[in-house]
Amino acid sequence: MKEHMGIFTNPDIEGYLGAEPDLQPEQLSERIWTISDGLCRTLFVEADSSVIAFDSFGTPGKARAYRKAIERAVPGKPVATVIYTHDHLDHAGFCDDLAPDAEIVADEMTARVIDLRGADGQTGVTCRLSGAKHRVEFDGAEFLLLNPGPTHGTGNLSAYFAEEQLLFSSDTILPNARYALMPDYHIANFVRFMRGFLELDFATFVPGRYEVTDRGRFETGCDYIEAMQNICQQAFVELVSIWVMDAMAEYVTAGLAGRFGDLEGFEQHVGMTSIRIVHHYLMGGWSLEDTPEPGYLLADQ
Ligand SMILES: [Zn+2]
């Protein structure tokens, strides 16, 4: 069977791409389920006569496994709408294998990246959203889609379900310290935009990786990234060898372990994350996303 290849070029990758794990959804409310492949987490919503699925997972096999899990959880209702939280292939790369005829909803900037990248298997966007806040209704299911500005990836849309007091924000705040090198995070405004979500009345937080958590751990996540930004700046003051991961890990651990050392993964990840953050301050950030007022990256501004 010929698999969609994403952006892979090595033909030996096909076995990896085709493997279909058994994915088990977990029901969070009458209409909302969450599901993880062990790397990424997403959710889907039962509507009147169809299902709204967020993202597709990162291989064709996992996308098919996702479709089968949805069919078991919500029998007789097809996936008619897919919402891409952001452009990344590990979350949203293979809708051709999930629901190729569905309406595909995404932020305008996400849609542009997907068009220009042309990854094999990443279905193009059919419904483009522009701006920061959308009250959407698909087949009787209502909720909010929010893009406060560059946070992670391109055009990242978070979803807020008022009835369930639930926030879903993919690949932003994690329930632990496993941020690694924070790939494609936009540090300049990240914590400010994330803290903005605290204006919403949510008790449950569904992250784009790891386990479902709560508002308290979302706040701790914001505090952790902010504290990491502060201590990484302090490392310049103290003339720490900012290029050396061991030196940064030792310095940042000494400063942050008291407050954040109990976050799962802290010890393994603190060095990598701090190396990423010092480079933000060294270089001024990465591209337009890291300017102080990046609102113009929303398509209508
Ligand atoms: Zn991502």
pLDDT, tens digit, 9 for 90 and up, residues 222-246: 999 999 999 999 999 999 999 999 9
C-alpha 124 – ligand 1 centre gap (Å): 18
Q: What is the mean pLDDT of the chain?
A: 96
- What pLDDT was estimated at residue 293? 76
C-alpha 249 – ligand 1 centre gap (Å): 24
Provide the pLDDT confidence category of residue 1 given band limits of 50, 70 and 90. low
What is the per-residue burial (b if ≥16 Cβ within 10 Å, else e) of 252-263?
bbebbeeebeeb
Residue partners of 91: CB distance under 8 A and separation at least 6: 40, 42, 55, 56, 57, 58, 84, 85, 170, 171, 208
C-alpha 76 – ligand 1 centre gap (Å): 31
- What pLDDT was estimated at residue 202? 98
- What pLDDT was estimated at residue 135? 98
Q: Which two tokens stand for residue 48?
A: 């009147």
- What pLDDT was estimated at residue 301? 53
- What pLDDT was estimated at residue 103? 98
- What pLDDT was estimated at residue 292? 80
**CATH class, 11-175+193-213 region:** alpha beta
DSSP 14-60: HHHHH-------EE-SSSEEEEE-SS-EEEEEE-SSSEEEE--BSSH
Provide the pLDDT confidence category of residue 286 given band limits of 50, 70 and 90. confident
pLDDT, tens digit, 9 for 90 and up, residues 101-113: 999 999 999 999 9
**Residue 141 near residue 119, CB atoms below 8 Å:** no
Q: What span, in angstroms and rounded, lies between the C-alpha atoms of 249 and 268?
A: 9
- pLDDT of residue 300 exceeding 60: no
C-alpha 69 – ligand 1 centre gap (Å): 22
C-alpha 284 – ligand 1 centre gap (Å): 21
C-alpha 238 – ligand 1 centre gap (Å): 33
C-alpha 89 – ligand 1 centre gap (Å): 8
C-alpha 39 – ligand 1 centre gap (Å): 11
- pLDDT of residue 220 exceeding 80: yes
- What pLDDT was estimated at residue 287? 79
Provide the pLDDT confidence category of residue 299 given band limits of 50, 70 and 90. low
Burial of 133 (0-12, 13-18, 19+ CB in 10 A): exposed
C-alpha 91 – ligand 1 centre gap (Å): 7
3-state per-residue secondary structure call for 145-190: EECCCCCECCCCCEEEECCCCEEEECCCCCCCCCCCCCCCECHHHH
pLDDT, tens digit, 9 for 90 and up, residues 163-217: 999 999 999 999 999 999 999 999 999 999 999 999 999 999 999 999 999 999 9
C-alpha 65 – ligand 1 centre gap (Å): 20
C-alpha 78 – ligand 1 centre gap (Å): 26
C-alpha 92 – ligand 1 centre gap (Å): 9
Provide the pLDDT confidence category of residue 298 given band limits of 50, 70 and 90. low
Per-residue CA distances from 129 to 110, 135, 294 (Å): 9, 11, 17
Q: What percentage of the chain has pLDDT greater than the value 70?
A: 97
Give me the phi and psi of 193, to 5 degrees please: -70, -40
Q: Indicate whether this model's pTM tops 0.85.
A: yes
Q: What span, in angstroms and rounded, lies between the C-alpha atoms of 272 and 182?
A: 9
C-alpha 15 – ligand 1 centre gap (Å): 23
Q: What span, in angstroms and rounded, lies between the C-alpha atoms of 267 and 286?
A: 26
C-alpha 237 – ligand 1 centre gap (Å): 32
DSSP 235-262: HHHTT--TT-HHHHHHHHHHHHHHHHTT
**Residue 224 near residue 263, CB atoms below 8 Å:** yes
Element (H, E) at 141: strand 141-146
pLDDT, tens digit, 9 for 90 and up, residues 18-72: 999 999 999 999 999 999 999 999 999 999 999 999 999 999 999 999 999 999 9
